[in-house]
Amino acid sequence: MTEETSSSHQADAKLLNASLEVVADRADALIASFYDRLFTEYPAVRPMFPASMDAQHDKLLGAIIALVTNYENPEALRPTLLALGAKHDGWGVQPAHYTAVAGCLLATLREYAGDAFTPEVEGAWVRAYTFAAGTMMQGAAVTAAETQAA
pLDDT of residue 142: 80
pLDDT of residue 60: 95
Q: Which of 17-31, 76-90, 135-149 has the lowest mean pLDDT?
A: 135-149
pLDDT of residue 38: 98
| Averaged pLDDT score across all residues of the chain | 91
Q: State pLDDT tens for residues 95-149.
A: 999 999 999 999 999 999 999 999 999 999 999 999 999 999 999 888 666 666 6
146 burial via Cβ count (<10 Å: 0-12, 13-18, 19+)? exposed
Supply the pTM of this predicted model. 0.89
pLDDT of residue 7: 75
Task: Using the predicted structure, report yes or no on whether residue 5 has a pLDDT greater than 60.
Answer: no
**pLDDT level of residue 56 (50, 70, 90 thresholds):** very high
- Does 144 or 73 have the greater pLDDT score? 73
Domains of the chain (ranges plus CATH)? 3-149 (1.10.490.10)
Task: Using the predicted structure, report yes or no on whether residue 20 has a pLDDT greater than 60.
Answer: yes
Percent of the chain residues past pLDDT 70, beyond the cut: 91
* Distance in angstroms (rounded) separating the CA atoms of residues 97 and 135: 14
Contact 142, 86 (CB under 8 A): yes
